[in-house]
Each structure stands twice: as C-alpha cells, then as structure tokens.
Structure 1
Amino acid sequence: MSEKTSSRIFSGSRVLGYVSTHVPCVARYIQRRGETILCTSVGKWFHTYGCNKFRLLSVSGEHPGPITCMVGDKYHVYTASENNIYAWRRGCELTHVYRGHNASIKLMYPFGPHLISIDEENILKVFDIKEETVVLEIPYEKKVFDITTICHPPTYLNKVLLGSKQGRLQLWNLNTSKLVYTFNGWNSCVKITEPAPAIDVVAIALANNKIVLHNLRYDQLVMEFTHDWGKVTSLSFQINGTPIMVTGSSAGHIVTWNLEEKRVHTQMESAHNASVAGLHCMLSEPLMVTNSEDNSLKLWIFDMPDGGARLLRKRDGPALPPNYVTYCGLTGDNLLVAGRDSSLYIMNTISETFNKNLGRASRNRKASKKKKRSQYDPLIMPPVTRLSLCMQRDKQWDSVAAIHRNLHWVTTWSYHKMKMGQHILKAPGLIKGDVATCLTVTNCGNFVIIGYSNGQVHRFNMQSGIHRGTFGNEKKIAHKSAVRGVETDLCNQKAITAGADNKLKFWYFKNLTAPYSVMRLEESVSMTKCHRESALLALANEDFSITIVDIDTVNIVRKFEGHAGKINDIDFDHQSRWLISSSMDSTICTWDIPSGELVDIFVTERPCTSLSMSPTGDYLATTHVGDIGVFLWANKLLYEKIFLKPIDRYSVDIPKLALPTLTPKDPCQNETEIIEVCEEPEYKSPIQISEELITLSNQPTSRWLNLLNLDIVKKRNKPKTPLTIPKSAPFFLPTIPSLELEFDVEKDKEHNSNSKLLIPESLSTLSAFAKKLVSSDSNEDFSKCVEILKSLSSSAIEVEINSMAPDMGGSIDVMVKFLQMLETTLNSNRDFELAQSYLSLFLKSHTKVISEEKELRDSLISVEEAATESWSKLQTQLMYNICIVKALKDM
C-alpha cells in the first residue's frame, strides 16, 4: 500500500500561542504608517506587530529551519536560517535571498547598501543588497579573534566595530578592507556593543558583569558599572531628557542607569520570567520594547514619578509547554490553556488580540502581586494538571476549578474577571501525601466535586468555597483506592465516580451516603470523560482500551481497542457521534460511536498530551510534548464530502502528519491530498453513471406525473369565472409550443430572406416537434427531441402526442419515430421516468391506431423489450438496497 500523508477527517489549520523566542526583536520606524513596527521570531516564522495597538499585522513565510538572528533597516527585515539570509518587505514579501555561507549565521548588520553577516565558522561576508552578491569576505581564526558582536559607531564612515570572545575589539574599514585599530579589551568576552548618544563613545557589556563606556577616538575609559542582576543580555539608550542607559539581564530584570550621576536610576525586577533577549528604546518617544524567550513581548512607558517605566502593553503565551487545553463557551471562539509555568491563558481562535493571561497560581495572590516576585517565588503553586469549568454562573462567581500537581488544594478561577479566584478548596481529614486526582464542575455551576488519591470524594460550593459533603458512609471513603474520575449528569441528579479499584459507582446527588449502583469493570480506569447531553461516559483504561457506558441504563455500550500506549486524553465531539483519543504512541484516533468502529487515525511528530473538540465541531485543539503552541485541526466534514469507512488499525499504513504551522499550506497540494487520502470517488456525470445504473431526469413531477390524468386536473382547475382572452399574436407569426413565447421563424428566414412577410412554403400540419422527430435518424437527434419535450409543459406534451395520429394532422411515420425515440431513451438508461410517462400517454391516446397498423405493433415490441430490461435492472438494484438496509437495522 502507498503511504498516506493526511487524515480522513482532520486537516492542519494553524497554531496559537507563539509570541517570541530567544532571538532579539527588531524595531523599525515606518514613516508612511507613522508608527514603529516590531518583528519577533517564532521559530521558522516571524511576527510583525504595530506599536500603536500592539496587534499582529502579518506572519512571514516559512523558513527551512529556525531563525537564528534578525536585523532590519528602513527597507527590509533580514532573517537568517541555516546557511542563507532572507530579505522581507512588509513582513511577508520575500524579495532577496543571500547565499554563500557554509555554516549557520550568528550575526548580521545592515550597513547602507550592504549587509554584513558572520557565520559559525567565523567568516565575515559583505553582501550587496540589490545584487545579492558577495563583495567582501574576511576569514578569522577562532582561537585569535572569535567574533561575538558587531556595530557601527556614528560618524565613522565605512567603519564597523567588532567584539570578540577573547575580549579584544577591532575597528575595520570595509571600503578599503583594512584593519584600522585594535583595542586590547578587558580580558573578558564581549557580549554587547552599542553606540552611545555621545560621539566616539560605545557601551560594552562583558561576560564578567561589567558595563564599560569607552571612547574609541582616544581609547580611554569613560565610566564603568557593575551589573549585579545577572549577565547583561541586552542594552539600549534612552535620550529623552536625562541620558539613560537601559540594560536587560539573564534573570529577567531591567535596570536603568543615570549616566550623568553614574548610578542606578531604577530597577524593574522580574520584568520577564526568563532572559531579556531584545531591548529597544524608541527614538523621540518615552517608550521601550522588550522581548524574551519566556514567549512574551512587552511595551513599557517611562512615566513613573521616579523616572521608571511601567508596563503599557504586552503579548504573551505559555512559557513552557501547556498541560491541558479545553474549549470554554458555546461559540467555540476561546480556549482555556494551562501551562507548566502555573499560568492560565485564554486564547482566541479568531484574533490573537483577544488573548489574555489570567496570571500564575499562588498560595497568596495578593502577596505575590504586591512583592512582584519572580518565577522563583515560593508562593507560586505547581502547574495545573486538570481543569473543569461551567459558564452558567460565570458573571456571579468563579467558574473554573483547577487541580495542581502533587497538591490536595484545588484553586478556583474567574473567567469573567480573568484572574485567579479567592477560594482555595481544602478538604477536611486529609493527611500529608493525599493529592487531588480528578474533579468536575456541575452543569449548574454551583458545585465542584473533587476526587483524591486516598479514595475520598468531596463536594464544595463554588460561590463560597464551603465544604458541602463527602461521598461514603461512616468511613467517608467512596473507593478503596485512588479516585480516577468524577462526573455528573445534565440535571445534577446523579454523580459517577471511577476508582483504581476497578469499580464504577453511581450516586444520587442529594444522597451521598451510599451508591445506588456499582459496576465492576474488567480493567482499572485511568481517566473519564462525560458527554452530559447524550448521557455517555467514556472510560480510558490502563490496558490502553476505551469503554463507553450509558449512565442512564448503567450498561456498557461500546468498547474500543487499538492504542499501543498510555491514553493521555479523550473527548467527545459536539454531537457525541465521535470519540477522539490521544496516546503516548503518538496517535490520535477518531472512533465512530454508533458503528463502534475506528474511522480515522494519524500519527503526529510528538505525542499529544491534551485535546479538546470545539462545541461547534469546526476545530480540534491539541497540545504536544515539548511544544508551547496550541494546534488547531480543521474538521473536513464541514466543507467536504467525506466517506468514512472502518479502519483496521493493524493492516493499514498510518499517515504521519506534521503539526499545523502559522502559514496555510498550498491549496493545490491540499486538494491532491484530500482526493487521495479520503478515497472519494471521482465525480461522474449522469451520462457516465447511466452506463451502469438507471438515472432519472431531475424534471419536476408536474411535467410527467399527471400526464395520464390531465383531463381530471383541467376539470379541477377550471376557473369559475370566464377568463379574459388575451390579444393573440399576428396570424403570420408561427409560434413554438413551450412555457415561453417563441416564434418559429428560422426555417422561413432561410428560404424567404428577401420577403417582408413570413409565409410558409407548404401547408404542412406537423408541429415543430413532429418535424424534428421525422428528420431524426441517430441517437443524438432523438436526444435533442427529448430535450424539446423537457422544455414543454404537461398540456403542451399532451397536445404534441395527441396530434401524432393521422386523423389529428400527424402521420404513421411520426408515431414510428416517436416509438424509436422512446426505445433509444430506455436503452440509454437515462430519463427513465419520462420515457415511462410518455409511453403511457402514447398508448392511452393511440390504442386504436396501434392495433390497426402492423408497423406500429412491430416497433412497440422493441420498445417493450427495452422497457422490460430497464425494469429488471431497476428491480435488482432496489432489492439489493432493501436487503442492505434491513441487514443494518438487524445489527
């Protein structure tokens, strides 16, 4: 079998949550727009944001590999990926590609009409931007001068300053390709070189946490600072008023330095949760933009009383791969994502402008916020592992409950207020080592039921956080071992608990003393998922199988087997027709519940850790191991005709799909994959289908159904009052009988083109249809005659057939031709109902004439044979379909 490359049901759409990586951002002022444009790397792509509203403007095309560095000038944004450099305009238009390096590129610098680049082999190349050619190449020995930084001091014509890992600096004239001067340095690796507002002065950040302002003209030290907040990773100058130097550190702190007083001006601790990758102060504006590898981009404004900066706008996403994702609300627009950084995020599937960060879980939220603690805050709680929510009472009180890793505390969150709630739910009687394992918020939003590792199940009130009961009798234990799943029904009448003791217990919601039913399971349950509208409960078992239980009848209705690893997550679709599951074997399976079969399976690059199906059925959201993004897969059944067939898990080639990207794929390629993977039959026209099957004409039933009863219809529809006779057409303009008024002038135009009056040459009584019929000799001619009859009304068809008799102005030849036309139509397997109807009317109208004429009787025998063969074929197909339907009903 050929290897498949796509899923039957799902197609990769896009990824959410990417904002920034470790690559420093690029800030460019666009005079035509009147704003500063920010570009941030997000792996193989880069985003373009506008500073005015901080919204996403565009996404670049995909690079062959991750972007290693970015720079920009007023015309282009330059990105380096692997051994090539790409020049982009307007954020998404690729204009130039620069090739020539044999290693990955680590540094770039636009220098007038040239672009300077340095690769990992320590080779410096200068490209002509327009011509894409190398105009200069200078190799360096790593042991002598390993280049780490590059900058251009203002007023130094054609000169660049290079910093090295050995601590020395070199000033080169690129126009003459000569070394101008060598600075001995400070015996420490040069991390950053940035020209200062003062002429001839350059700020140099060293690996020993020193910041040196050095005069290049006189090779003299101007001033020196010691950075006590980690290594300096970014540096910029703010020149509005008092000269200020701003530095970002590897610990995420931002420090401003007063250059006149030579001291620290202000500090912003934990401005980012990771190293500050890029920092730019805007020209002529009290603004500063920073980005970090914690997946955030922030805009700061210097308007504090002490001269410090405050956060003005930000865009951020999960700093670590998320643990859990679920849709919230009925519109399917928003996703609730739990990250391993103990934060909750709201991600909008329509526009990233509506993305929000609900904050980090803390044991004392006010204390953490007041002290502005960093990621090392001891009050920060472990990551969220499980969520449950109900939006019914979201505006009155907290609507989200979350379980944290290895904790028995359960936190509440407010989706409406977009922050952590005030309640931390603590069950009574728990000892050290007992942790919360599962939870569910009831459909009314008033209660949350929590299961624990010691077998206890507790109920809390969401509004007040008060404990409202414990499942079980005197011992207050619902199960003898850990509780693996807790669910409730749609009307809050029942509660279902599943434990590691292989028991599934059903409780009345108002009576928690004893379960009213207990089901013994064959395998231990690892997790549960309930679709309340259909009363179906899915159990993910530890033997990698899935069991579906009807909670109304307390019976097992389906069992699915096919995964080869631990099941990470399961979810129903909005109609409870599919069950979608993910496993550590990197597969995502779709099970058809009514038929009990596997209908779709595909493998991803990394195992899926969590998934959620949209309440509208349009997208499947997934998270994967080691990736901070949330991936959306489009449901093909919403816009295509897909034929789903059962799949044998072990006898087919499982397609391996790449994770969705930020840019759409080639539409032509998608069409090819759709046809190949979904195994849709190629489109066949009615003519092609008629070669095997009998087809109908698609004509309205009024055109053929009542042809035998037209006299009754006319009598029933006869008006009670006499009709007004319309003005008739001139006698010399012959008309064609049809639904629209048409004049039969073609023939007379040919023969009497010079005559002003349209006078027929003969006084033939045959109609236009009869004349066409008499002149027909081939199947194609007869098909044209059938098309003419299709355009006529029922009354006109009756008139045409009745006028074929010799005593009505017709002839035997016309009647014979009409029978030949019917025989041809029946043999072609097309227009079956029309041929039968026309034949019935013909026999009813001309029975006497047919019995008297042998030629008509002979023609009628051929028509009878064709009709009998058609009916036999139709009966065979009908009986086959009836048997299939009956067999499916009996299953």
Structure 2
Amino acid sequence: MQAGGPLFKPFRALGYITDDVPFAVQRRGKEAYVTVSVGRTWQIYNTAKLTLVMVGPQLSRAVTALAVKGDLTFAATGAAIEECRRAHKSGEYRGHSAPVVQMLVLGDTLLSLGADARLLVWRIGSYDEPEAVVEFEAGFVPTCFAHPDTYLNKVVVGAADGRLQLWNYSTCALLHTFGGWGSAVRVIAPSPALDVVGVGLADGRAVLANLRYDAELAAFQCAAGAGAGAAAERFAASERAPMAGGSAVTALSFRTGPGLPLMAAGGGSGVVTVWNLEERRLHAVLPDAHDARLLALHFFPGEPLLMSSAADNAVKQWVFDGHDAVPRLLRFRSGHAAPPSVVAHYAEGLRLLSAGADRAFRVFSTIQDQQSRELSQRHTARRAKRARVREEEVKLPRIVALAAAQARERDWANVLTAHEGDGTAYTWRLANFALGEARLAPPPDQLAGAPLAPATAVAVSPCGNFGVVGSAAGRVDRYNMQSGGHRGAYTRRAAPGPAGAAAAVDAPQRAPAHDGAVVGAAVDGANRLLVTLGAVDGALRVWDFKRQALLSEVAVGGGATHLALHPGSGLAAVACSDAVVRLYDVEAGRLVRRFTGHRDRITSLAISSDCRWLLSASLDSTVRVWDVPAGVCLQAMALGAPVTCLSLSPGRDLLATTHANRRGVFLWSNQLMFGEAGAVALNAPEPLPVGLPSVATGTRHDGERGVSMTVDGGDEPLSDSGEFYGAGGSSSEEEDAGAEGGGGPRGKARGAADVDMADAAAGVPAVYERTDTASGGAPAPLAPQLVTLSLLPRAQWETLLHLDAIKARSKPIQPPKKPEAAPFFLPTVPGLEGNPVFDTAAAAVADAAAAPEAPKANGTAGTLAGWGEGSASGSEGEDGGGSEGGSGSDEEGGGHGGGDGKRAAVVRAAPGSRVVRSKPTAADAPVGSFLRLLRSCGAAGDFAPFIALVRSLSPAALDRELRGMVLLEGCAAREVDDVAALLAALEAEIGGARNYEFAQALLQHVLAIHGDALISHAQLAGAAERMQRALKASWRRLDDLLQGARCVVDFLANARG
C-alpha cells in the first residue's frame, strides 16, 4: 500500500438511471416513489416529476432484487439481503445459499425467493434466521411469485415447467398445484379482479388464470411484442392478436380505477403491448418504448398512468388520455443506453457533453441532475414511424469527435460533431438542446468527382463564427457556423511528380492538408493559427487561420492518434501509436517535452487551462498526470477499466472520464484543491489503484456520509403521514440500528456502519482511506500554518460578537408567566443538559410517606412499597451493596442521574422511617459534557474533540456554557484550571490557524465574560500572555502576506507603460 491518496479522488458517476433489476414502487402520503437499482447501490425518484430524492449506500455486491417498506429498503446482493434505513445500512438477512431472484414485503413480513429453490419468510428486524422456510418438491424450479389480493398469508409461485403452486407461507403448506401451460413462467401479476392473476410465459403468451377454479380465462399471443413492432403497424388491431411467437413476457401490469380495463405487457424486444381485457383484443402497441428488455411495468392505482423500465438505462411514464385511451409518452429519465466514448467539458465546466454507441448526444449537469437531457435530433419518432423502422435507426451515426464554443450560444449553433462513416459534420444549438439547421459538407465542385470521405475531426473557433472539419481523405475545410457556408479549404503545394512527367495543367497543383485521415484539429485562442494532425503522414501542420496558408510542419512519426492544443500558449500534445506523448511548440516548430510510461495505446489527451498539467489515458486502464514545466509524471492512477475519453474542467477542479463497458460519465475531484495537505502521493513509482466513483457524492452532513441532495432539486421524500422526513439522504439525526426490534448480532454489527459512497468503487476497490476534514470538524489546512476558515455559517460566529445586543432586543416586554405545574407523578428538577430530569428520590420519599405499613415476613422489616429492597433506583445489585442510590451524580452520565446532584441513600425502611439525604460535597458537583470533554482533552493535550463540540453548539448554548464557568470569589482550584484549559484550547486553534474567524470571535466572547478573572488570578494571567503571543504571531504572518499583496497591487495600478 502506497502512502498518500490519489490526485483525483472518486466523486460521482453521472448518467446512471437504472440497470437490469425491476423497480419497486411505494406510496408515502400523497406522493409515490420508485426505487431503482444502479450497480451496487439504489436510488429513489419521486414519480410526480421523476426527480432524484435519495441515493443509497454502496453495498457489498451488485443488487439483484429490490423491495421497500416505509423508510426501509431491502436490496438483495447475491445470497444476502441488505436492509437500509433511508441512506444507511441497518441490517442483513442471510439464509439463502444462492442468489435471491425476487422479494416481496407483506406487512411486517419479508418474502425472498432464491435460486436455491427456497422461499424464506422473514420477520422484518429479526436478522438471525427466517421464521419459515418453504421447500419445493423435486422438479419444481421456482422462477417468480406474487401475492393475490385478499389471499391472506398466501402466495402463488411459478415454475420453469409452466406450473403454478399456491402456498400458505405462514404454515409452509402447499394448498394447490395448477396444471400450467408447458412454458416457463417468467412473471406473475395480481389483477383487480378477485381470484384472477396475469401470468407471463417464456413463449410470449400472457395468460389470465382464475385461481379459485383453476381455469384459463384468456390467452394473448405475442404479448411480449415480437412481431408487434414496426411490422405490425401494417395490420389492423383485430388482426394483430392472433399473431403467435415472440420472446418471453418479462413484465405485466393491470390498470385499476375507472376507464377501460387494460393490461400492459412487455418482453425482450422493448415493445410494450396494451390489451383491452373487456374485448380481449390488442388495444395499442408502443413499438419503440425501450431499446432493450423490459424489466417492470406498473399502473398507478386509480390513474391512467403506466411506468416502465428496461435495461436501456431508462424509466418512462405513459399517460392514457383521450376517449380512446391511446398511450403517449408523458415524461422520462434516461441515460446512455450504451457506453459513451466522447466527453467534453462545456463553458465553465458546469455541464458535460457526451456521446456514445447508442447514437445519443447528451448534456449532463454537474450541479442539478434534473437538468441533464438528450439533445433532440428533430422528429426521430415521427420519421421512424413513417419509415416503419426503429427510432434508433433514423438517428445520426455514433459521434466520433465534437467541439464547442460558448461565445455565440444564444445566436446560432455553437457545437459541431463528426459522425462515424458520415461525410457531413452536424451543428447543434445547445441553447435549444436540438440539432442545428446547418450541415457542413464541402461543395461538389470542391471534391472534383471524388467521393465524400467521412469526417474524422472537428474544431470550433473561440469566437464561435467558424467551424473546421477534417476528413478521412485528408481534407480540412472551414465553414461559417451561422449559415453553414463553405469558407475555403486548407491546402498545400503538391509534392513534385516523377522526373520528366508533364504537368497536367499550367497552374500549380494543390494537395489536401494531409495525405491520410485527419485525427486532430484545433484553433488557438486568438484565431490566428489552425493546428492539424495527420494519422498516416505523421505530420503536425500549422496553418494561418485567415489566409489558409501553411506556415510550418513537424514530423511526429507515423501512427499519430490524438491531438490536444492549449489555446493560450501554443503548446500541442500529440499521442502516437508508440504510447509516447510528445509536446510541441507549434509556433517555433520544435519538440519541448516527451513523456513515456504508458504500456498500451493512448486513448485521450487533455491539457489544463493553465498549461501546467497534461493528462493522458491509455488502454492499460491508467490515467497519468504530467507536470509540463518539470517534465515528470505527478501520478499514475489505475482505474480498473480502460478509459476511452477524458476531459479536465477549466478550473481544474473536476476530471470527467468515460470507460469501456460503463454507461456512465465519471467525475473525479482534484485533491490538491479540496484535499488535505500532503495527502496526495506524488511522483509515485507505480500506478495507484483507485476505484471508480459511484452514483452518490462523498458529501458529509452532520457526521454522516451520504448524498448531497442539493444536486437534484432538493425534493424530499415523505413519511407515512405525508410529512417531509429529511433532505433526501443527508439526515442530521442519528438512526438507531435496533429501532426495528430484534437486533441480532448481524444487524447490530452493521447498524452503525458509515459508508463512504464516493470511495466505494464500482470497479477495483480503492487502497487508500482518509478524510477531507480535521478531527475537529473543520477543513484541514492545505499547508502548515496556512490560515483556514471554519466554513461555518457567518451568522453562527457573528452572533457571538453581538449576543448582548441580540438579547437586549429580544427581551420580552411583559414578564414571563409562570408555567402550569407539572403532573404530580412527574416531579422534575433542573438539569445541566437542558433536558427534563425526573426527581426519582422525591418520588421515593412521597411513596414511602403515603405507603401503608407493610406486614412483616419471616421476621424482617417491610420494604418500600413498589421498590423492594436495595437502592431507590430499583436496580438491585447494580452497585453491589446498594448503599448508594443510583440517583446520585455519575461521572459518565454528565449530571443526568440525580436532579440536584446530591447522593441519596435509601436503606430498608421500617414502618414510620424516612429517607435521609446526605449533604453535598465539592466532589459531588455535577459536571456537564462541555466541562468533561474540556478536562479530558486538556489532560490528553489534544483539543480537537472539544473544538468539534464547540462548533456544533448554537451561539446561545455556547454562551450559556461559558457563563457557567464564571469564577466567583472563593472558587475551587479545579474551576480555575477549567478556564486555563479553555484558553489553552483557543491558543492551539489560533496558533495553528484553524477555524480562524470562529476562533477570533470565540476569543472575544471569552474575554468579555472572563476578563476580570484573567486579571485577578496569576495562573490565568500567564495563560493570557501566552495567548497574546500566539495571536500576534498568527496575525503577523497574515498581515505580512496582505501587505505584500497590497504593495504589488499598488505598483501595478500606478505603473505606466
């Protein structure tokens, strides 16, 4: 294990909506929520707008099944079922010996069906062992199950041979075996009709079965949609139903409430078929509902709304409106259906442009997930319907190169793309999220009869007026981005022909920009130079952008693959097939740096905005960060999956990558900007293994690690009563692992686990572990003695400075009214923690006085009625002899034990006896958590836990604690030591330049309260002098820096050229 962490830490994965696991839906109050799985975690969407509201923790393995109940989410990970309370793991159920394939929650019971042919019945919260185990007979291989409505404690189980069995899971009794249909049962769905269920079969049929009479009511052929796609549009609705064959039916759902009785079915073709059960015919077909296998369908109760999900990374909602209830797409959330291969930061890095093999061009927001969307390719659904083909077939081919400029975003198209095998480059209006009007291709007279070669490289000038397109034939053409007009080609003087050859024409021959495919094109920041790179001729050529004349060229060698140009400095990075990155000064035409280290073909290059870093990715699954001025490798990170493209934001804060066989866009945070000083392993000899980011961020909130829901619109899930119950995964309250009862060893062990979702990898696990904050809760300084702010709300520390004025302003006009007396059976006394403390000793005295004389037994005196022998707390044997009552001051309890801190002894009371309380001593003085922590930290010499407590207190609570430490005349030496320890804590914070503004405000408030004590006590006066020296030294360092900066600014402001 290497010391230090990665330069770029996993932050978040974008574009993951759902995977190949059926979703789970539940209604909470007036809102409905859908839970979907994403790899090794899950996430929850509000179905009203499909906005993300919560992301779960990283689990041990990929999720295979889901179930939900209130705040609990059950995720099957292989043979185990992991229970999560909101965004934290709270328990684990283990009983299966094979992966779990389906789960169902019925009341307080969890049912799980495994590939080991067993149905386990769990009591929710009891993690030790299942309540019941249903064992199936030999030859009956269960595939799915469902709970028919009104069938108490019963489930119907489908098998691979087409049979159904009805079981009572509470008694593990087989009630009936149905004949079956000779084809494997893939899905069972209860219907609104009593005793009727829908059964989806592997041969494409959907069957309505009556369980009471073991009868088949109806069978619909080709319910999975095979043959019901574009080809079926030629047939009338009455002619489609008899069409047989097709893939397996994998999803079924029934419409409830008013309107037509409908059943929706789907299968492996991605087609959704809707059947009219009243007329027993096909009602509608959604041929392009999804691009992959249907996973789940769900009709919302009483609403004409159908929700579907498939393995194409999309969740869609369809509304059945109008008299004929024809479905139409209402809303959807989708990501890339195939791995993206191109990614680029746009503008200031708040948005990402990505494209992949699914032919989709998408924009992702790094701030708000709901702003991510796919760019329209103009009426693809309509054109596909006319051509009777799938919508994917009418989309543009896969994007192989893209370029964008923000300058003219609101005026005309500002994004340019090149597509695989297409000789035309396409413009896009990012402001409208749609394809632009202009299509860029050279005029026919420019081609001289040659075929149009595919476009391979594109560039957009920084001014946004021009687009440059390079082709596989070596042509480089310039176009106007507004009109799409051709504005000339970049050509060079042709090489001289063989000796003695006659010239074909009198004019000098012109050759295209390169002899082979153009793999890179870039324009400098001033629109002066155009740099192009040829793959075959291995030439890096520099052109005058305006005159279209060749200025210089550099031979980089054959097999050039990628080009990256820094627009300000004129440095161009070139990657070749020899896995070497070369850096050239394009104006001087010379090689300035050469970087070696990759072991496989380089797939992408990026240069930071300040030109100090060069990033390269390779098929060896590594990303290397090169220091350009020093010419060394800062760090190599092994990411576990080959990187296909990378992009560094202009602020260098976020790195975006795409990977082979990964459908997401992964974000990485720069730890030199956000991490701890010295926590990055620089100049490491070997690549540092780093896991891929998950869909959740690494944001901490009140000591928890969860997802920051501010990136998704801030929608909050509802409790069962319809009230908001938190900020979507960033709960500020601590969850009790044993709140559900049971609390077996497995549940207790996992209930308190905090999972860092950013560090938990989707690929290779990370080998480092560290935090971004100091143990005191404040951000750690990036360098020693560097002034670091507390990042607390400004009102929290400013209130301390004006607390007296705030109290005077908030003083009530009328005196407070005396509260009504508490009930006689709840005697309370003042406590130290602000919580009510019940006076158990007073209650014991009252009970003893009111109790009648108890009869003596076996010659012994009677005991206090209701208490028995021993201490007044009723905990016999708790302290051995029982001579000291449990209501006394306890060092661990912080003054909670007794109401007034006095020790009370209750002995065996004879009739007429009374309870006697001893007088308090100095040692018995109650001590709160504030003083206890201050004393323990002072003894250990580390005040970080105490500062963390101080940061968490409100200004009023902190003022109350500080005033409780006021030294009165004749105070004990221990109290003076407490004030001295407080000054030592402030001295440590100010001397270390941590929590700078908060420590200054706190010091001023402490001096205002304890100023007189500092003068009258010699011990405190010495501590104050040390504090003054630390304060002056800290301010001197900061003041010197400020004065230096001020001098430079004044000099530059007054300088004259």
Q: How does the TM-score come out when normalised to structure 2?
A: 0.61
Secondary structure of residue in 1 paired with 2:646: strand
**Aligned-partner Cα distance in 2 for 1:261–1:788:** 88
Contact 2:249 2:266 in 1 (8 A): yes
1:61 maps to what in 2? Answer: 57
- Which of 627, 636, 643 is equivalent to 2:671? 636
- Which of 32, 35, 40 is equivalent to 1:39? 35
Secondary structure of residue in 1 paired with 2:512: coil
2:16 maps to what in 1? Answer: 18
1:852 maps to what in 2? Answer: none
1:255 maps to what in 2? Answer: 273
2:693 maps to what in 1? Answer: 660
Contact 1:406 1:435 in 2 (8 A): yes
Aligned partner letter, 1:505 = R
2:481 maps to what in 1? Answer: 462
For 1:312-327, what aligned pairs fall within 5 Å after superposition?
Answer: 312-327=330-345
1:279 maps to what in 2? Answer: 297
- Which of 178, 198, 201 is equivalent to 1:203? 198
**Aligned-partner Cα distance in 1 for 2:113–2:584:** 63
Aligned partner letter, 2:661 = G
Contact 1:270 1:373 in 2 (8 A): no
Question: Residue 533 of structure 1: CA displacement?
Answer: 2.2
Question: Residue 316 of structure 1: CA displacement?
Answer: 0.8
**Aligned-partner Cα distance in 2 for 1:251–1:784:** 78
1:426 maps to what in 2? Answer: 441
1:482 maps to what in 2? Answer: 517
Question: Residue 504 of structure 1: CA displacement?
Answer: 2.0
Question: Residue 631 of structure 1: CA displacement?
Answer: 0.9
Out of 240-249 and 74-83, give the one that drifted further.
Answer: 74-83
Contact 2:5 2:681 in 1 (8 A): no
Unaligned runs of at least 5 residues, structure 2: 227-247, 494-508, 699-754, 760-767, 775-780, 788-968, 970-1018, 1038-1057
Contact 1:64 1:82 in 2 (8 A): no
For 1:40-439, what aligned pairs fall within 5 Å after superposition?
Answer: 40-74=36-70, 76-90=72-86, 92-132=87-127, 133-140=129-136, 144-227=139-222, 229-230=225-226, 231-241=248-258, 242-330=260-348, 332-359=349-376, 365=380, 368=383, 371=386, 375=390, 377-427=392-442, 428=444, 429=447, 431=450, 434-439=453-458
Question: Residue 510 of structure 1: CA displacement?
Answer: 2.4
Residues 547 and 786 (structure 1), Cα distance of their counterparts in 2 relative to 1, 3 Å cut: same
Residues 247 and 518 (structure 1), Cα distance of their counterparts in 2 relative to 1, 3 Å cut: same
Aligned partner letter, 1:94 = K
For 1:619-634, what aligned pairs fall within 5 Å after superposition?
Answer: 619-634=654-669
Unaligned runs of at least 5 residues, structure 1: 687-745, 747-779, 794-829, 835-891
1:525 maps to what in 2? Answer: 560
**Aligned-partner Cα distance in 1 for 2:573–2:1029:** 56
Residues 373 and 68 (structure 1), Cα distance of their counterparts in 2 relative to 1, 3 Å cut: farther
Aligned partner letter, 2:439 = I
1:6 maps to what in 2? Answer: 5
**Aligned-partner Cα distance in 1 for 2:14–2:559:** 35
**Aligned-partner Cα distance in 1 for 2:555–2:256:** 74
Contact 1:270 1:374 in 2 (8 A): no
Residues 376 and 39 (structure 1), Cα distance of their counterparts in 2 relative to 1, 3 Å cut: same
Residues 175 and 16 (structure 1), Cα distance of their counterparts in 2 relative to 1, 3 Å cut: same
Whether 1:671 aligns to 2:689 is no
**Aligned-partner Cα distance in 2 for 1:413–1:308:** 33
Describe the superposition over 1:612-651 as per-residue Cα deviations: whole angstroms up to 9, x where unpaired. 11112210011111101111110112234656999767xx
Secondary structure of residue in 2 paired with 1:46: strand
Secondary structure of residue in 2 paired with 1:341: coil
1:810 maps to what in 2? Answer: none
2:822 maps to what in 1? Answer: none
Q: How does the TM-score come out when normalised to structure 1?
A: 0.72
Residues 346 and 372 (structure 1), Cα distance of their counterparts in 2 relative to 1, 3 Å cut: farther
Question: Residue 66 of structure 1: CA displacement?
Answer: 0.7
Secondary structure of residue in 2 paired with 1:22: coil
Question: Residue 395 of structure 1: CA displacement?
Answer: 1.8
**Aligned-partner Cα distance in 1 for 2:340–2:1030:** 64
1:580 maps to what in 2? Answer: 615
Describe the superposition over 1:303-347 as per-residue Cα deviations: whole angstroms up to 9, x where unpaired. 1442022222211110111011111112x2111111210101111
Question: Residue 237 of structure 1: CA displacement?
Answer: 0.8
Secondary structure of residue in 1 paired with 2:770: helix
Secondary structure of residue in 2 paired with 1:353: helix
Contact 2:557 2:576 in 1 (8 A): no
Residues 402 and 350 (structure 1), Cα distance of their counterparts in 2 relative to 1, 3 Å cut: same
Contact 1:579 1:592 in 2 (8 A): yes
RMSD (Å), alpha carbons: 3.3
Question: Residue 179 of structure 1: CA displacement?
Answer: 1.2
Residues 387 and 642 (structure 1), Cα distance of their counterparts in 2 relative to 1, 3 Å cut: farther
| Larger RCO, structure (CA 8 Å, separation 6 or more) | 2
**Aligned-partner Cα distance in 2 for 1:341–1:645:** 37
Aligned residue pairs, count: 690
Secondary structure of residue in 2 paired with 1:302: strand
Secondary structure of residue in 2 paired with 1:67: coil
Secondary structure of residue in 1 paired with 2:131: strand
Question: Residue 497 of structure 1: CA displacement?
Answer: 1.8
Contact 1:599 1:644 in 2 (8 A): no
Contact 2:676 2:773 in 1 (8 A): no
Residues 122 and 788 (structure 1), Cα distance of their counterparts in 2 relative to 1, 3 Å cut: closer
**Aligned-partner Cα distance in 2 for 1:187–1:137:** 27
**Aligned-partner Cα distance in 1 for 2:487–2:360:** 28
2:646 maps to what in 1? Answer: 611
**Aligned-partner Cα distance in 1 for 2:388–2:110:** 42
Contact 1:15 1:661 in 2 (8 A): yes
Question: Residue 524 of structure 1: CA displacement?
Answer: 4.5
- Which of 500, 508, 514 is equivalent to 2:544? 508
Question: Residue 113 of structure 1: CA displacement?
Answer: 2.6
1:29 maps to what in 2? Answer: 27
**Aligned-partner Cα distance in 2 for 1:351–1:482:** 39
Residues 116 and 492 (structure 1), Cα distance of their counterparts in 2 relative to 1, 3 Å cut: same
Residues 404 and 623 (structure 1), Cα distance of their counterparts in 2 relative to 1, 3 Å cut: same
Aligned partner letter, 1:21 = D
Question: Residue 112 of structure 1: CA displacement?
Answer: 3.0
Describe the superposition over 1:712-747 as per-residue Cα deviations: whole angstroms up to 9, x where unpaired. xxxxxxxxxxxxxxxxxxxxxxxxxxxxxxxxxx9x
Contact 2:206 2:265 in 1 (8 A): no
Describe the superposition over 1:832-884 as per-residue Cα deviations: whole angstroms up to 9, x where unpaired. x99xxxxxxxxxxxxxxxxxxxxxxxxxxxxxxxxxxxxxxxxxxxxxxxxxx
Secondary structure of residue in 1 paired with 2:326: coil
Query: Between Structure 1 and Structure 2, whose CA radius of gyration is higher?
Result: 1
**Aligned-partner Cα distance in 1 for 2:324–2:786:** 78
Describe the superposition over 1:437-493 as per-residue Cα deviations: whole angstroms up to 9, x where unpaired. 211111111221111222221122222222221111544411222222212121212
Describe the superposition over 1:563-601 as per-residue Cα deviations: whole angstroms up to 9, x where unpaired. 121111111112121111111111111111122221121
**Aligned-partner Cα distance in 1 for 2:406–2:102:** 50
Contact 1:273 1:374 in 2 (8 A): no
Secondary structure of residue in 2 paired with 1:594: coil
